[in-house]
């Protein structure tokens, strides 16, 4: 148990830096979901000539699961990537 605690304490700065770098913005979520949906559609329409039925099913499950994880993460984020627990303030257009 103490080894786990020591490891966590050593990795805590790295974990904090990763959390800051891995902010999911709305544009990333939208782009990812569109591409994944296109992959799902191509798999359903043209996959039979390229993939076996088992591979088609596997691809559909894998892409769908990744889409669900990305959507769940994005659900708790503001459009600018900050946590949803913080108020979202849209940047005003600056005209100079």
Average model confidence (pLDDT) across the chain: 82
Under DSSP, the state recorded for 16 is H
Find out whether 43 and 80 touch, Cβ atoms under 8 Å.
no
pLDDT at 95: 60
**Domain definitions of the chain by residue range:** 25-82
Distances (CA, A) of 26 to 29, 34, 89: 5, 12, 14
Q: Is residue 51 scored above 80 in pLDDT?
A: yes
Which residue, among 71, 33, 64, has the nearest Cα to 56 in the 3D structure?
64
Name residues whose C-beta falls within 8 Å of residue 36's C-beta, 6 or more positions apart in sequence.
63, 66, 67, 70
Please tell me the pTM assigned to this model: 0.64
């Amino acid at each position: 148990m103490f080894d786990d605690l020591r490891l966590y304490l050593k990795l805590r700065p790295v974990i904090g830096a990763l959390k800051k770098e891995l902010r999911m913005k709305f544009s990333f979520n939208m782009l990812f979901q569109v591409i994944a949906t296109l992959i799902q559609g191509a798999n359903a329409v043209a996959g039979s000539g390229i993939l076996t039925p088992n591979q088609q099913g596997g691809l559909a499950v894998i892409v769908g699961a990744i889409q669900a994880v990305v959507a769940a993460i994005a659900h708790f984020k503001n459009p600018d990537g900050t946590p949803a627990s913080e108020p979202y303030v849209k940047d005003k257009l600056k005209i100079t």
